[in-house]
């Protein structure tokens, strides 16, 4: 599914984040920036030790923030490590922290003058954020940023990993349709 948001092409697909050929791929990282499981584990394994070495030098990243490293052996030149919240029921600022992780990733991409970025569904794997709650937050944050902020992004992709949740694409597609309907 593709749409244009302001001047940026936005795409929703199923696939593997580590295979994307955008300027940067985002990984859902742990605040210590150590090799996690799920998306982060795949990024570190396929990207090689250069990514972890840069993460080790950076030392950590607050929840809701993002940092950038090399892409190592990945097709993408950069990895943006976004630290989303662990789901604890919704009463510990999880929605705000999740939105911040997406927004900060977009800001980091803009600071580095990147033209394209691919996101996974942050926090919905190992951090167990319910995908039906995460999808509208992710999409609204991305759309708001692309419409309202100065940026260099020409292409933004959201890559949904069907092995994690086989209904992920349908959940995101429905949330995007509802967001677009509410904007009109």
| Residues recognised as catalytic | 40
- DSSP state string for 110-146: HHTT-SEEEE--TTSSTT---HHHHHHHHHHHHHHHH
The phi-psi region of residue 109 (left if phi > 0; otherwise alpha if psi is between -120 and 50; otherwise beta) is: alpha
Do the beta carbons of residue 119 and residue 26 sit within 8 Å?
yes
Do the beta carbons of residue 10 and residue 22 sit within 8 Å?
no
Closest by CA to 120, choosing from 83, 159, 71, 168, is: 159
């Amino acid at each position: 599914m593709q749409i244009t948001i302001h001047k940026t092409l936005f795409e929703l697909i199923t696939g593997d984040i580590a295979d994307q050929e955008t300027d940067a791929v985002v990984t859902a990282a742990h605040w210590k920036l150590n090799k996690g499981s799920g998306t982060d584990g795949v990024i570190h394994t396929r990207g090689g030790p250069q990514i972890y070495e840069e993460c080790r030098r950076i030392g950590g990243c607050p929840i809701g923030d993002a940092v950038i490293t090399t892409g190592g052996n990945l097709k993408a030149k950069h990895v943006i490590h976004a630290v989303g919240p662990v789901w604890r029921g919704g009463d510990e600022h999880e929605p705000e922290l999740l939105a911040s992780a997406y927004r900060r990733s977009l800001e980091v991409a803009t600071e580095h003058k990147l033209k394209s970025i691919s996101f996974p569904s942050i926090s919905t794997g190992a951090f167990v954020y319910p995908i039906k709650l995460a999808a509208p937050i992710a999409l609204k944050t991305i759309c708001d940023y692309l419409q309202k902020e100065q940026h260099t992004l020409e292409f933004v992709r959201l890559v949904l990993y069907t092995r994690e949740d086989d209904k992920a694409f349908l959940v995101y597609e429905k949330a995007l349709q509802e967001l677009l309907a509410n904007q009109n």
